[in-house]
């Protein structure tokens, strides 16, 4: 996995974490809809990134645990 892909995964993961944290707060309907849309977009972006497969890099959906393990290798998933 290239450094660029790992950097993108980390950036998306940070955004996803931030949006999830914000969704737990008191928000207006407009703010909540905006954050839910952004969360969905970030999740889709992670799933569209290439990941190692049996024949090099593929564009299939990466399993969530594999992505999390790449992003946070020291947190034992």
List pLDDT tens digits, range 33-45. 999 999 999 999 9
Residue at 77 is within a domain: no
- Percent of the chain at pLDDT > 70 equals 64
pLDDT at position 6, please?
Answer: 85
Start-end of H helices in 1-77: 3-23, 29-48, 64-71
Residue 55 falls inside a structural domain: yes
Does residue 65 fall inside a structural domain? yes
Work out the average pLDDT over 13-32: 96
The one-character DSSP state at 24 is T
Is 76 part of any domain? no
Binned at pLDDT 50, 70 and 90, residue 70 comes out as low
Is the confidence at residue 65, as pLDDT, over 80? no
Domain for residue 14, yes or no?
A: yes
Task: Give the span between the Cα atoms of 47 and 63, in whole angstroms.
Answer: 8
Domain that holds residue 7: 3-71
**Count of structural domains, the chain:** 1
């Amino acid at each position: 996995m290239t450094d660029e892909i790992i950097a993108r995964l980390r950036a998306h993961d940070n955004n996803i974490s931030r949006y999830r944290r914000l969704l737990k707060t008191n928000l207006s309907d407009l703010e909540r809809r905006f954050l839910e849309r952004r969360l969905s977009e970030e999740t889709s972006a992670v799933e569209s990134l290439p990941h190692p497969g049996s024949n090099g890099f593929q564009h299939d959906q990466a399993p969530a645990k594999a992505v999390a393990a790449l992003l946070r290798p020291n947190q034992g998933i």
